Amino acid sequence: MRTNLTSQISMNNVSTRYYKPENAVERSVITRFEKITTNIFESMDEGTQHISDEIIAKIQDRQREGKFCTIALGTGSSLRPLFTELIRRHKDEGVSFRNVILFNLYEFYPVNEGAGSTFSHLMKQFISQVDIDRQNIFTMEGSIPQDAIIDHCRLYEQRIQTFGGIDIAILGIGRKGIIGMNEPGSQASSSTRLILLDSTSRSEAAHNLGVDNLPPCSITMGIKTILGARKVFLLAWGEDKAEIIRKTVEEKITDTLPASYLQMHTNAVVCTDLAAAAYLTRIQRPWLVTNCEWNNKLIRSAIVWLCQTLGKPILKLTNKDYNDNGLSELLALYGSAYNVNIKVFNDLQHTITGWPGGKPNADDTYRPERAKPFPKRVIVFSPHPDDDVISMGGTLRRLVQQGHEVHVAYQTSGNIAVGDEEVVRFMHFINGFNQLFDDNQNQTISDKYAEIKKFFAEKKEGDMDSRDILTIKGLIRRGEARTACTYNNIPLSRCHFLDLPFYETGKIEKNPISLPDIEIVLNLLREVKPHQIYVAGDLADPHGTHRVCTDAVFAAIDEEKNAGAEWLKDCRIWMYRGAWAEWEIENIEMAVPLSPEELRAKRNSILKHQSQMESAPFLGNDERLFWQRSEDRNRGTASLYDGLGLACYEAMEAFVEYKPL
C-alpha cells in the first residue's frame, strides 16, 4: 500500500533540461543567477542516494589512505532520509564507518537528562545503527555550568583542528536560513559559541525533534567553523524550503540569512528536490536563462509574471513587452502578443465559477466542474476540526446552498491545539451546572474537576496532558466543529469525526501513517461514494498533520482504484490550501468567488472555533488570527485576478485538481 502519494505530486512538469543540463556549458547558462552550486534531483530519494554515494566514496578513499574522515553532522527533517540511506548501505552492503570522526553541529542549552538533546536524537536516528567507534564521536555538552561554556567551546574548536579540520559538513536549513544554530546576525568570523534562539527557531527545532519545548539557547558551531570544512552539503526537501533556498542561492550575502555565507565557500553544494528548487530562476522563470519547452502552465506563469513585472493587465501587453522581457519565443509561436494574451485570458477566465459542484443544465465545456450528476455527494476532508471553514468555508456554504449532499470528515481530534484555560473554563461550567441543578451532586463531576485543577496547578512546561484532559480537549473541538456545521446548514449526521490513530500521541511528534488510519478513511469513502472530494493541499504544511491526513485519503483512493471501484470513476478530487499559503495562479484550476456577505459568513464560521483564536499554540510569529489570515489570502487571490484584468471580486477560494496516479 502506497502511503506517501503527496510526495509524488508535481504542480508543473519541469523539463529535465532545467535541472539536469547536458554539459558544463549548458549548466553555466541556466545557473547564471545561482551563487552556490546547486544540484536538483527529481525526488528526495534520488538526492539522498547521490549524496550517500559521495559521502561513502570519501570515507572509503580515506580508509584506503589509512586516515580518518571527519564529518560534522546535525539533525532535522532534511537529514533523516540521508541517515536512513546510510544505515541501509551499512546493513545491506557492508559499508563501514569505522574511520569516521563525527562532530555534532549543535546542542541545546541547558539540557537536563537528555531532554531535547540533539545528540540523543542523533544517536537514536543514526549513530547507534552504524559502526562508528564511540570514542570517535564528539558533541557539545548541554549540561555544563554556564561559566565553563567559553572554555568548552574553545576546546571543541581545538579538537576539530586536532583531527585536521572537517572533511564534510552536512547541513539542513531552517525557515529563517539558519545553518547549524547560527541565528540571523551571526558573523562570518563566528566560531563555536553559545547563542540565544528566537521563538521561530525553537518551535521549528521542537517540531523537527518531536518534543513540546526546547531550552532557550544552543551551543553551535560558528559560520567560520562550518566554512572551514573542505566540503559542505546543504540539504533541502519539499516546497516549504523553496523560498529560503532561492534567497540562499540567488540573493546577496547577508547576516540576516546565515546560509548565504555558503556563497563564500568554494566547495559548497546545495542539494534539493524539484519542490525545494521550485523558486530558482531556472525552474520558475526559465525564459530568463534559456529557450523554453512551452506548455500551457508555463505560458500562463510567464504572462502572469510579465503582467506583475510591468503592472499591466493581460490584454494590454504588447509585442514590445514580450521582446523586452525575454518572451519573444511566444511571439514566434503564436504570431503576436494579442494571440497569446487572448489565450491566457480565456484560460484564467474559465477557472472562475460560482458553481463549485457544477451548474445543472448548463454547457460545462469550459467549466472546472461537470454539470452532471446533480446534486452531488461531496466529502470535505478537514485535517483539524477547523480547516474546512478556514480553507474553503465559502465554497462549503455554496455547495450546501446549491443543493449538494455535503459531508465533512474531521480527520483528527485536534486536541493538542486546545489551551489549558479552555479546559478550565468548560470544567468550571460543568461543575457549576452540577452544583446548581443536580440535587444529588454528581460526585464524578466534582472529583474530576478537582483532579484537573490539581493537575494544571502542578503542570510544568513540556509535561504531557493526561488522557482524560486530551479527551476533554477533543470534546471541545468537536463541539465547535458541530456548531460551525450547524451554522453552515450541514446536518450533524453528515459530520464525521474520524479520530485517526496516528495523531493521538498527546504530543507534537505523531506516529507514522498506518493501515488503521487508511481503513477509517476507506470505510467512509465506501459508505458515501462521493462525486467530489476536497482535501488539504498544504504540501508545505509547517506541522505535517495536513500532509499526513491527505496521504491517508490518497492511499484510500489508491486502494479503491486498484480494486476497480465504480464510484471512483465518476469522482473528482480537489485540493485546497489553508491559512498559510495560496496556490500559485498558474496552477489554479477552480476559483470560487465570494461576495462581501459570503466572506463575512465564512469569518463567522471560523469564529465558531473559539479555542483556536488568541490561545491557539501554533500561530507562530504571524500575529494575525486564523480568520484574518484566511481573509487576507482570499482577498489577495481576488486582487491578483483583478490586476490581470479579469472580474473584480471581494475574495476567492482556489483549488487544484488531483488525478490519482
Classify 645 as helix, strand or coil. coil
Of the candidates 279, 175, 170, the one whose C-alpha atom is nearest the C-alpha of residue 235 is 170
Work out the widest C-alpha separation in the chain, in whole angstroms.
87
Within 8 A by CB and 6+ apart from 158, the residues are none
Answer yes or no: are the C-beta atoms of 360 and 449 closer than 8 Å.
no
Of the candidates 430, 437, 482, the one whose C-alpha atom is nearest the C-alpha of residue 453 is 430
Cα distances from 494 to residues 364, 406, 531, 550, in angstroms, run 28, 7, 15, 20
Q: Where are the beta strands (DSSP E) in 538-581?
A: 572-576
Classify 32 as helix, strand or coil. coil
Q: Where are the beta strands (DSSP E) in 188-343?
A: 193-196, 217-220, 231-236, 268-273
Residue 32: all three cell numbers together: 547564471
Q: Indicate the helix (H) or strand (E) that contains 630.
A: helix 626-643
Taking the chain, what is the end-to-end CA distance rounded to the nearest angstrom? 13
Answer yes or no: are the C-beta atoms of 138 and 159 closer than 8 Å.
yes
**Interstrand relation of 268-273 and 37-41 (parallel, antiparallel or unpaired):** parallel
Residue 153 identity (one-letter amino acid): C
For residue 70, the cross-strand partners are 101
Q: Indicate the helix (H) or strand (E) that contains 71.
A: strand 69-73
**Interstrand relation of 651-658 and 590-594 (parallel, antiparallel or unpaired):** antiparallel
- CA gap 480, 625 in Å, rounded: 17
* Size (the chain), residues: 661
The question of whether 405 is a catalytic residue gets the answer no
Q: Would the CA dihedral through 382, 418, 75, 127 be positive or negative?
A: negative
* Catalytically annotated residue among 34, 85, 107, 183: 183
Indicate which residues carry an active-site annotation.
183
